[in-house]
């Protein structure tokens, strides 16, 4: 076996002793990661022997050894025509070139929201729905859209709106090679790098959501303000959202929507994590993840929400369940079944379209996922007695 700073790798079980290893607890004060052993599968579904891991072991403290996906070649024009918005970030041993609106991030204020969105397809329209509704508050300038794909596809939109964070990666969502992890982790790392300090007016909390979600900005701000003024450190929100307080088992079912092979994640459990439709991190957690090189060194995980749980555990933070983050619209067995089978809601409810989309009221919610379309987004916004500031004009050439 190979012994490293934080990873103890068994390339085959016969090469390791058969005694279980008790992992020392993470010492947040000493910033020392525990030594772990990692099963090195020879084939995707080559499972570790029984009792190789403890029952609740996670992959949070395993380091990457190399980039999981090929490094994307950078166009020569980026080197010959650099801009102040250019930068690079390492995520899980993978170097990523990006462009982001530096000054807008610097001056975004106390709250930043990152929205996963596709560069093409329905992405541009969905971004306009958001710009016209919940991101249009005069006092809130912290919404940024996380995109990938060819630079030329979003160049004009980037320059016009100055609210895109673009990474030089392909928009890939095939099995375990997903761009979502790179988008999400890059977002948190970039805004930490470029935003003002908390003391200098920079963000204290950052939210990640999707472009089919509505964020009740005022309710979110009040929730965060109550956390900031709490006298108890336990009440401070560092990692929060729809966060089940039990560990999830990785699916090894090849027919499942989200299977994961033993080569990618051999451990028996995921760490505690918040579901990806809407969760938040404190600046302090992001700072530790970035400055202690957890962002650069954690082992790649294709599920972006689980990857945040990994960074949180490496950084010494636990997730907090808060009320108001709604992953489903009505949370019925039918809706859950369609989501698990990747069936669009319009197809799921094709025989019952009178009940889809459901009630648009959001007054008691912080984030509502699965917004159906433009009209649904508008209806939700108007349910808060807010005006729609429609953004839909063609971008000037």
Predicted confidence (pLDDT) per residue in 308-318, tens digit: 999 999 999 99
pLDDT at residue 45 greater than cutoff 50:
yes
Residue pair 116/208 in contact by the 8 Å Cβ criterion? yes
Residues 52 and 37: their CA atoms lie apart, in Å, by 9
Mean pLDDT of all residues belonging to the chain: 88
pLDDT at residue 4 greater than cutoff 60:
no
- Among the listed residues 213, 234, 238, 210, the one whose alpha carbon sits nearest the alpha carbon of residue 224: 238
User: What values do phi and psi take at 350, rounded to 5?
Assistant: -60, -25
Higher pLDDT, 76 or 232: 76
**Dihedral angle computed from the Cα positions of residues 194, 311, 71 and 126, in that order, rounded to the nearest 10 degrees:** -70
* Overall average pLDDT of the 322-350 stretch: 90
Angle made by CA atoms 186, 192, 193, in degrees to the nearest 5: 85
Higher pLDDT, 31 or 47: 47
Q: What is the pTM of this model?
A: 0.89
Least confident of 43-52, 113-122, 357-366: 357-366
pLDDT of res. 206? 98
What sign results for the dihedral spanned by CA atoms 119, 123, 125, 126? negative
* Overall average pLDDT of the 9-23 stretch: 35
């Amino acid at each position: 076996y190979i012994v490293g700073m934080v990873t103890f790798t068994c390339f085959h079980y016969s090469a390791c002793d058969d005694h279980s290893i008790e992992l020392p607890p993470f010492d947040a004060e000493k910033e020392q990661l525990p030594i772990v052993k990692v099963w090195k599968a020879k084939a995707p579904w080559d499972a570790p022997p029984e009792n190789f891991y403890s029952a609740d072991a996670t992959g949070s403290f395993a380091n990457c050894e190399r980039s999981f996906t090929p490094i994307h070649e950078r166009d020569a024009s980026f080197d010959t025509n650099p801009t102040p918005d250019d930068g690079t970030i390492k995520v899980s041993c993978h170097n990523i070139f990006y462009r982001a609106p530096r000054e807008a991030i610097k001056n975004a204020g106390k709250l930043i929201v990152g929205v996963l969105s596709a560069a093409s397809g329905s992405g541009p329209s969905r971004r306009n729905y958001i710009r016209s509704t919940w991101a249009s508050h005069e006092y809130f300038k912290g919404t940024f859209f996380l995109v990938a794909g060819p630079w030329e596809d979003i160049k004009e939109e980037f320059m016009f709106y100055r609210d895109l964070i673009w990474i030089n990666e392909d928009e890939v969502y095939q099995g375990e090679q997903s761009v979502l992890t790179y988008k999400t982790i890059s977002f948190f790392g970039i805004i930490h790098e470029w935003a003002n300090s908390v003391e200098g007016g920079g963000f204290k909390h950052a939210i990640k959501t999707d472009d089919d979600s509505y964020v009740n900005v005022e309710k979110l701000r009040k929730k965060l303000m109550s956390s900031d003024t709490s006298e108890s450190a336990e009440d401070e929100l560092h990692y929060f959202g729809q966060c089940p307080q039990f560990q999830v088992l990785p699916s090894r079912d090849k027919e499942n929507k989200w299977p994961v092979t033993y080569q990618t994640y051999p451990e028996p459990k995921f760490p505690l994590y918040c579901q990806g439709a809407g969760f938040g991190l404190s600046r302090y957690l992001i700072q530790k993840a970035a400055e202690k090189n957890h962002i650069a060194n954690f082992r790649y995980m294709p599920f972006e929400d689980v990857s945040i749980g990994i960074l949180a555990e490496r950084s010494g933070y636990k997730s907090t369940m808060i009320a108001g983050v709604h992953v489903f619209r009505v949370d019925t067995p039918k809706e859950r079944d369609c989501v698990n089978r990747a069936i669009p809601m319009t197809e799921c409810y094709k025989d019952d379209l009178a009940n889809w989309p459901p009630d648009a009221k959001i007054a008691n919610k912080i984030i509502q996922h699965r917004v159906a379309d433009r009209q649904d987004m508008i209806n939700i916004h108007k349910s808060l007695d807010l005006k729609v500031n429609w953004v839909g004009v063609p971008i000037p050439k």
